[in-house]
Every structure is written in structure tokens, then in C-alpha cells.
Structure 1
Amino acid sequence: MCGTVLCRRSSACCALLNYGGSVLEETGRYLVNFDTAELEQDEVPYLVIGSGVAGLYAACAAARAGERVAVITKGTVDDTTTAHAQGGVAAAIGAEDDPAYHLADTLAAGAGLADEEAVRVLVAAAPARISDLLSIGAQFDRANGVLDLGREGAHSRNRVVHAGGDATGAEIQRALTAWISGHTLIDLYERHYLVDLLVREKVCYGALVLDGERQRLRVFWARAVVLATGGAAQTFRHNTNPRVATGDGMAAAYRAGADLMDMEFVQFHPTVFKQPGGEPFLISERLRGEGAILRNYREERFMPRYHERGELAPRDVVTRAILEEMRQSDAPCVYIDARHIPAERLRKRFPKITGTLVGYGFDITKDLIPVTPAAHYFMGGVRTDLCGRTTIEGLYACGEVACTGVHGANRLASNSLLEGLVFAGRVVESTRGKLEGRGRPRFCCDELLPPADYDAAALRIALQETMDEGAGPVRTPAGLSSVLAFCEDWQWLRRHAAATPAEMEVRNMLEIGHLVAEAALARTESRGAHYRVDFPAPRERWRKHIIFRR
């Protein structure tokens, strides 16, 4: 059983990190001034914040249980990380597979920090969640009338269910969106931005939300607030996530007093295509599962020198191998080579990848494709139990925003969509028929100074570049200290109200960046996705979790 290191931000010191008293401990609870007594009010049994796989599945489950649900999302319903997911959903449903194999693969990828009980819950529920998606209309790829199962890195069996070749997330997003759109118990509020959670004495009563259409604050009271806001890879400049993935749910939960755990573990996807002027585009791991190989700048295959599984090694291994090859050759990238795979097979199985690359002048059937690692997924997040309960009563979290312990120090490919499905369902299973009204206490804040005069867009880019340099896949004390220094230079913003969603986002990103760097500097070892140049090996004394509590 892994131990726990608890770091309390409000203490003068703790077992690992010193937190001298500062104004940060006394300010920054809210992003804006407000008074709930003066705002528009709504009340629902379930408030779901986020419209990716975890949020929409939670809404479906609650509506099926006969409960009214409000779903709020900061953009449009399909502006999510889920919609961009290519790979698929892992489930041990093949004739030669078993949940025990899925369990073993997940624990191995987690590098000694995955919670075995949580992983058992995940892999046991996977087949039923696939069946549920099929029942609501998801169209997964089939071969000879049965589900076509692919293989990705660190999986010992073919068990990845996919759709449209390489557009699995988009199909799941479509199916869930269509289902909720026709349900009378679900109200969807697009362009509604989570500002803060309304918490008193460790009880969550609801959320303060900015209505982006009308540019006014409103309050949603709820018996259960379900965070499903996704991750925070946008804190890095080179990332695979949509622009909305700025860690809003994590930061809001932290300000409200919830525990955050494993924030140092950020997964960098090894193979991301990037051309000048273009957005980073993920090249799915399934392409390597189909036989594509990695070549360095001299066009030599290199992965077998780093791991016995070659291109299908765990993502952290592949990422560091790529960076080492780039360093040795002083090269800007490595290449993924699929030229030996039949062209028609590539076009059929990877239509999104092949089509996107054509737009940039690359033919995957004939060309080497330049790739580099990029920030992709947060293993850490809001600490929960196996039913999504956080350390605040009435506040739940599921999907990437949550940290159940299921991924440990490194996520196994195609377990992310699965985690959202499994634990969103468990949130509702554990609460349906048990929710009690909590009333509407008055919340207010009038202590913040007027909005500050600064360029939020420029600050966002500067933070992202600082994170890339100092908190990327290969970390040093100097680099991590530079991230901390950058974030601390902007601490004064906490005394000021945020004027726009862009300002709220960058404030949340600063909070997340600071926590990532603090945890990474404290963890004096290398484990999973966290690699320290000065401590290049795992240490048994560090087989434990770092938990932040405000």
C-alpha cells in the first residue's frame, strides 16, 4: 500500500516543503467580487460541470435515475478533449483477453503508484461501459461482425475499442451529446464558465458561474456538484489539448479547500506532429500498434535500444527516448515511419491522421512524419475515493480532473476515456436516491481590488513557455525553480478581481503550474512520467503520494 505525504499550504512548514507565511495563504479564495443574494439563482439535484465523456455520462446516468441535471460547459458542448481523442477505450473483451491482464498492464504502467483497488474497479467495469455506449448509439469499428480491437503501447493484448479508425472520442462525444439532447431532465448551458465553488465548512452548496452570453454572474445550487472539467495540458505551450483545457476545475477545487494529489505526474504524448504556423496534432499510438516505427534524424530505428517492447513501450519511456535521440543529433524532431504498411490499410484505419497530414503536405504512405513529445494528460488532480467523492461533502469529481489513483505515475494508453465512463457512473450510483437538500446560505466576497491592467494573453504564453522549459518531460531543480519564481512573480494578481474568462483561465493556469513545479521539486526521484536529471532512478521511500491542501 502506498504511503501519503500531506503538504498543507496553510502551515508554516510540513514534512517535505516549507511554506513560509505569505499573503497567498490569506487571499485568492475567489476570482471575483460577488454576493449570491443579488444574483440569478437556479437549483438542481445534480450540477455537472463539463461536457466531455465524464460529464455527459454522469448526466446520462443521473437522468436515467430520474434526477434533474444541469450541465454547464465553458464553450460549446463538443469543445472538449474527449472530442479530440483518437485512440479508443480499453476493455478486456477479446477471446484471448481477461480483466486480469488489463489489471496487470495498468499496474505496470503506473510505476508502483497505481491504486490496485481502483484499477480493479476500472478493468472490471470496462466491458459493461462499452455495452452501455453501444446501447445509446455509439458506432464502433467492426471486423467480421465483431468489435475490431487494436493494441497500443504497454498493452499485452489487443483490447482497444475504436471508432472511425482514429476518431473514437468524436464518436463517443456525438453519441452522448445526441442522447442528452433529447432528454427532458437534462438542461445544457453552453458558454457558462465555472468561476468558483461555493463551499462553507467543507460542504459544497453549488457553483458561481459566468454566463458568457449575457456576461453576468449566476448561481447554481445543487445537492451534488460533479466536476468533469478535464485536465490542464494548456499550461504547456506544446500540448495536444484544446484551448479550453486550462485546469479550471482543479484550481477552483483547490481554492475551495479540496485535496489535490499527484500533480507532478504529467504525461507527455511521444508522437505529436507540429509544423510552423500549425496547431500540434497527435499521431495516435495505434499507428505504432499497427506496425509503424520510430526513426531518428539519421533515419535509424532506435526504440529497441531503449525497451524490449520497442515502439510499444510505456509512453514515458518512448518520450524520453525520443528526447535523447533529438539531443544526440541536435535535431528538432524524430520521425514516425509507416511507409511499409499497406496504403489502403492506413487510409482506412487512420482517416483523420492521413487527411490532416495531407493538408500539411505530407503523405503518410510515402513520407516520414516529423514528431516530438507534447503535454497530453494529467494523472494528478482532485483527490477522490472510488465513488468520486472529494474531501468536500457534496463535491464529486470524475475524468481527468480527478485523481482516483487509477493511473499512478503514468497512464496506460486508452484508459482515460474508460476512467471517465467508469467513475462518472459510480458517482451517480453512489448518490442516487440519497441526496439531501442543503439550503441556500449567502456567499459573498467584496475584498478584491479592481481588475489589474495586464495582458492576459501574453501572460498565458509566457507561462506556457516557462512550463515547457522548466517542467517538461526532463526536469532539473533549476528549471523547476524557474517555474516557481515565475508563478510567484504574479502572486499579486490574487488581490485583484478577474475581469474576463481569459483572466480567470490564466489565474487557474498559474495555480496549476505552481503546484506541478512544487510537487516535482519535492519528489527527489524519477518515476513514471516524472523524470529528474539529478535523481534518475525511482526510490522506494518515494512510493507515496504528494497531496496539497490549502
Structure 2
Amino acid sequence: MQTDFLVIGSGIAGLTYALKVAEAKPDKRVTVITKAHSDETNTKYAQGGIAGVWDDENDSYQKHIEDTLIAGDGLCNEKIVEIVVKEGPERIREIIEWGAQFDKDPDGDYTLGKEGGHSVNRILHHKDVTGREMERALLLKIQSLPNITLITHCFVIDLITQHHLGYLVTKSTLDIQCYGVYVLNLESNEIEKIISKVTVLATGGNGQAYRTTTNPIIATGDGVAMVYRAKGRIENMEFIQFHPTALFQPGVSPSFLITEAVRGDGGILRNKFGEAFMERYDERKDLAPRDIVARAIDSEMKKNGTEHVYLDCRHMVVEKFIHHFPNIYEKCLSIGIDVTKDMIPVAPAAHYSCGGIKTDEFAKTSIRNLYACGECASTGLHGANRLASNSLLEAMVFGHRAYVHSIARLEELEALHPQSAAQADAMIPDWNAEGTREPKEMILITQSLKELQQIMSDYVGIVRTNVRLTRALKRLDLLYEETEDLYRSTKVSPQLCELRNLISVGYLIVKGAAFRKESRGLHFNTDYPEKSVLKENIIL
């Protein structure tokens, strides 16, 4: 199969890009691939909202920039922060034009929420399902564009580069080029190749590397792992954001998220003694940035020997709570928690990857013809810790910027590309499955996944030590060897590919954490409790 623009992932970043190139180039083919249903993305699970300067009287670009820089703890790229903050409101207006609906007050003005790390109210939301509403609008919009093909249940295995043409490709190779991808068609169970002039990775996060996460089961770090295998640049993977308040339900995965907006509306964190403990950790109390709140909760749990703390909403106006957070209210009620009478048990869960595929201001990766946007990318916006509700904003801004850059370079990209389907087919080999057999025991994969998640949760969580990181690396090495042996000898399956990707992601997180000889933002190592004078990014 050949296409002009190939988008891997159907979340807000990928669909923003696809819509824009399809409208700008109606004579070109745009193909969007997703490994599950079209709406099964990290976008869908984003509850809180999207941050943007909307109230000119009380807010300003400078305030939003400063809040982002403070949260990023010295590692944000200030140029990128300024770009996202200043271009963000226009992107929000676009998605409103495309049909997304955000909550308004009786006067018809948008109601703006406030979350941890924000100095003013600036977050637009659709109750407590903002991501789902934005995803709905985008999917509806792409149906009106005949040159977009959306392929579901199609698993991308690897990027096609010169490596597959028989050339030696290393980290030092300057002109690595992406020609498309190999995919596993889950309906036919055949491995096919899709050749494209432009490839965009919008593959989301990697929360499934951890035992407890708010991410859906598809969040297996596929894009990051593929780029790493293709010798592209990966950055700052040690900065894994743990959301402070996931609903505590032992054995349930993914964890149900209790959005930070609940604390923005007045929810109070309490320990098992009923004490409001956040004032002991930060003057901003319950609205401190997420890294501080998550570490505070972790400290209280360890100090008191508990598996969770509580979020107290009993003092909040019940009608307002139900209006703003209907899904949270219903979810709690379904497991016997009445938020008007009971406190909600919460604990931190892996939530967001601030690092990822290193990109520039136009979402370009270190590999030619390959862009990355959304959570899989490291743009420089988040630094060492993401400011709440900046992720959906970033995804839209860089989906747009990737579109601007790739459209401007389309003639150049076409010149680098095989000129015909026959030429492409002759140039790029089919997938070689020779010597492989059907897997005999799925337990080899499922047990390795459990081991990986256990290793990452126990050794590479909210608080880290050198001993834990060394132990994690040794155990990951063994898992890697076992899984690569399995990969070489058996036929490819989505489960095996996801395990392989998660092991790569786990390795990158551990290596980044081991290289960072300091505590900064989301990375806290008790052997290096202070910040270093150097403010450097860890590039792998």
C-alpha cells in the first residue's frame, strides 16, 4: 500500500494533523492507522481539560508561560513554551469550530477551571470527559473528508529505514530516512508494508510499563520503541508523571482517574487520621504541581503504612460536584462511595511521559520524513514535569506545526521517495518471517509483562535509589534477552510486539534515571536529593 501522508495513532495529535493536510491537499491520500478502535486513545481518557489564555482581564501569555516554566523545573525549552502558549488559543478556537463543546456559564461565557500549578483559572473543560468530547469532534470531522482513510485494528511493527534495504544504520548515521512502516493486519494476520512520503507518529504514552496506571491498555510506548530501534533520538524518559489521585481499587487496571480539577474546586487530601497533610509539604497545599503532590502522598502512605490516602469532597456543594464531575460521581457510587458522605480513597498512578521522541519546533524527529507529536514526543514544553492540562494543547499545536512544515516540504519529500508503486515494492523488501513458528505458550509473554510492570513499579517509581535502578537494569536485561529470543523464533503477535516495546521503554526510563545524578521535577533519587547546577537533557 502507498499513501502520501501516514499517521500512526488516532488521538488528538494525529487527527489534528490528518485533518489539516487532508483539507490543504484534497488530491493527496491521508492514511490514519490505529491498533484498536478509532477512539481508543489516551485523548479519550483525558478528564481535566485544555489550558489556554482565554480571560484577558485576569490572565496573560506571560502568566501561562511562567506557570509552565515553574512546573518544568528548569528543563523547559523557553522558545517552545512561548510558541505553545501563544499559538494555543487559536488551536482551541479551531477545535471549537470543528464541533467540540466546552462548558459555559448561564451568561454564555466559558467556565474556566483551575488545577495544580496554575496561577489563574484558564482551563476549558467538558464536564469531566474533555478528551472524549474533543476526540468525538475530531472523528466526526474526518468523516467529511473523502481523502482520509482510517484503518483500525492494524498494528505497526517497525519503521522502514535504510536498515531494511541492507545498509548499516547507527546512532551516528546522519541521513536516516523513513519510508513507511511494516504493519500486522489483525484481520488477515499478515504482515504488510505501507510506503509513505511523510510518516507521523502520534502513538501516545507508555503507562502500561507500570503495574498501576491511568492509561488504557494500548499505551505501550510503541512509537518511542520503534524510533529507538531505528536509531532515532530519545530524550528525558526518566520523567514519568504519576497522577496523584487515581481511584484506589486493588487489582483494577487501568486505574480510574480522579481529575485534578476536583482539587481545583476545593477537594482536600487527607491521611488515614483525617489530617489535611499537604500544608506540610508545600505552601500551595492541594494545588501544588503534581510531582510535589505525588511525592507527598507517597510519603504519607509509607509513613503511615497505608496503600492510599483520601480525597475529601464532603464539604463541596453536591449539585455543583455532580454537574462538573458526573462520571466521577457515578463511578464512586458504583463501588459504594457516596462523595457527599464518604472520602474517596486515592493513590498515585503512572499517568504521563514528559520525555519521548526528541523533536524540534516543527515536530521533526532526527529521522528524515518522520514527525512525532502528542505524548510520544519530547518537544521541550514539559521539561521535568508537565503542567496540568498542557498536554492536549501541546498535541494540537504540534499537530498543526507538523502539518505546516510537511506541506511546505512536500515537493522535496516526493523527490526523495520512490516514484512508483513498482519501484517502491522492488526497493523495499517484504517482511521476512522465515524460520519462525506459531507461539506455543502465551504465558511466556504474559508473565514477562507482569515481571516488567513489577520491576518498574517497585524500582523506578515516584522515589528512586541507585541500588533500585541497578537492580531494575539487571532484571530488564534478562527480560530483553528472553523476549528477543522469542521474537526471533516465533511469528509476530501484537502481545509480543507490545511486550518488546515496553521492555525498550522500561530500559530507556531506567537508563535516563541512572544518568541523571540529581533530583529534579518528576525524577527523585534519594542518593542525589539536590538539584544539579547543570540543567541538561538526557538524550539516548
Using the size of structure 2 for normalisation, the TM-score is 0.91
Q: By how many angstroms is 1:352 displaced?
A: 1.0
Q: CA deviation at 1:453?
A: 5.6
C-alpha contact 1:483 1:513 (8 A) present in aligned 2? no
State the one-letter code of the partner of 1:274. Answer: F
Shift of 1:445: 6.2
Matched, 1:379 2:354: yes
Match of 1:368 among 343, 351, 361: 343
Deviation at 1:449, TM superposition (A): 6.0
In structure 2, the residue matched to 1:477 is 466
The aligned counterpart of 2:538 is: 546
**CA separation in 2, counterparts of 1:450 and 1:221?**
25
Verify: 1:450 aligned to 2:424, yes or no.
no
1:486 and 2:478 matched: no
Structure 1 residue aligned with 2:169: none
Find the residue that maps to 2:362 and give its secondary structure. coil
Matched, 1:218 2:192: yes
**What is the Cα deviation at residue 443 of structure 1?**
3.4
Q: Distance in 2 between matches of 1:191 and 1:460?
A: 21
What is the match of residue 157 of structure 1? 120
**Equivalent pair of 1:58/1:428 in contact (CA under 8 Å):** yes
Partner amino acid, structure 1, of 2:466? P
Q: What is the correspondence of 1:99-118 to structure 2 with a 5 Å cutoff?
A: 99-118=61-80
* Deviation digits for residues 232-259 of structure 1 (CA, Å, limit 9, x no counterpart): 0110011000000000010011111110
Query: In 2, are the aligned partners of 1:388 and 1:427 still within 8 Å (CA)?
Result: yes
Assess if the C-alpha contact under 8 Å between 1:77 and 1:190 holds in 2. Answer: yes
Alignment partners' CA distance in 1, 2:340 and 2:13: 35
User: Which ranges of structure 1 fall in alignment gaps of 5 or more residues?
Assistant: 1-41
The aligned residue for residue 232 of structure 1 is: 206
For 2:237 and 2:279, locate their aligned partners in 1 and report how far apart those are by CA, in whole Å: 31
Moved more, 497-506 or 246-255: 497-506
1:310-349 matches, within 5 Å, as: 310-349=285-324
Query: Greater CA deviation, 316-325 or 440-449?
Result: 440-449
Q: Which amino acid aligns with 2:460?
A: A
SS for the counterpart of 1:268 is strand
Q: Deviations over 1:166-206 (max 9, x none)?
A: 00000001000111122101000000111000012501111
- Post-superposition CA distance 1:254-308 (Å, at most 9, x none): 1111100001110000001122353411110000000111001111001011111
- Counterpart Cα distance in 2 of 1:453 and 1:121: 51
The structure 2 residue matched to 1:504, chosen from 490, 497, 502, is: 497
Alignment of 1:82-97 (within 5 A): 82-94=43-55, 95-97=57-59
Residues 67-111 of structure 1, C-alpha deviations (whole Å, 9 max, x = no match) = 421000010101111101100000011131111110000000000
Match of 2:178 in 1: 204
Report the alpha carbon displacement of residue 48 of structure 1 after superposing the two structures with TM. 0.2
Between the aligned partners of 1:171 and 1:326, the Cα distance in structure 2 is: 35
Residues 312-361 of structure 1 deviation map (CA, whole Å, 9 limit, x = unaligned)? 00100000000111111111111000111111010000001111111111
Kept in 1: contact 2:23–2:145 (CA 8 A): no
**What amino acid is the match of 1:431?**
S
1:516 to 2:530 alignment: no
* Residue correspondence of structure 1 range 297-446 to structure 2 within 5 A: 297-435=272-410, 436-437=413-414, 438-439=417-418, 440=424, 441-443=427-429, 446=432
Where 1:462 maps in the other structure, the secondary structure is helix
| SS state at 1:220 partner | strand
**Aligned mates of 1:290, 1:445 — CA distance in 2:** 53
For 1:283, which of 239, 242, 258 is the aligned residue?
A: 258
Of 183, 192, 212, which residue of structure 1 is paired with 2:154?
A: 192
* Higher relative contact order structure (alpha carbons within 8 Å, sequence separation ≥ 6): 1
| Structure 1 residue ranges, 4+ long, deviating more than 6 angstroms after superposition | none
Aligned amino acid, residue 46 of structure 1: F
Question: 250, 255, 259: which is aligned to 2:233?
Answer: 259
**Partner secondary structure for residue 432 of structure 1:** helix
Structure 2 gap ranges (5+): 163-174, 419-423
Tell whether the 8 Å contact from 1:192 to 1:210 is kept in structure 2 after alignment. Answer: yes
Task: Report if aligned partners of 1:527, 1:538 keep a CA contact under 8 Å in 2.
Answer: yes
Identity, % of aligned positions: 42
Q: Corresponding residue for 2:167?
A: none
- Call closer, same or farther: CA 1:272–1:119 in 2, change over 3 Å: same
Q: Is residue 536 from structure 1 mapped to residue 498 from structure 2 by the alignment?
A: no
Pair 1:274-2:264 in alignment? no
CA distance, structure 2, for counterparts of residue 460 and residue 453 of structure 1: 17
**Equivalence for 1:6:** none
* Post-superposition offset of 1:485: 1.2
SS of structure 2 residue aligned to 1:229: coil
* Native 8 Å contact 1:271 1:371 kept in 2: yes
Question: Secondary structure of 1:267's partner?
Answer: strand
**Aligned match of 2:104:** 142
Match of residue 56 from structure 1: 15
Residues 98 and 192 of structure 1, relative CA distance in 2, 3 Å threshold = same
- Match for residue 466 of structure 1? 455
SS across alignment from 2:469: helix
Which stretch has the larger CA shift, 268-277 or 499-508?
268-277
Write the letter of the residue equivalent to 1:237. R
Cα pair 1:198 1:443 within 8 Å, conserved: no
Contact conserved, 1:53 with 1:173, CA < 8 A, in 2?
yes
Q: Which has the higher strand share?
A: 1
Amino acid in the other structure paired with 2:247 = F
- For 1:96 and 1:443, the matched residues in 2 are separated by 59
C-alpha deviations, 1:444-478, integer Å up to 9, x for none?
56598636665211211111011000100000112
Going from structure 1 to structure 2, the CA distance change for 1:278 and 1:446 (only over 3 Å counts) comes to closer
CA distance in 2, matches of 1:394, 1:145: 44
Residue in 2 that maps onto 1:16? none
The one-letter code matched in structure 2 to 1:292 is: G
In the alignment, the residues of structure 1 paired with residue 479 and residue 275 of structure 2 have an alpha-carbon distance, to the nearest angstrom, of 45
> Structure 1 121/448 Cα, relative in aligned 2: closer, same or farther at 3 Å?
farther
Are the equivalent residues in 1 in contact too, given 2:192–2:430 (CA < 8 A)?
no
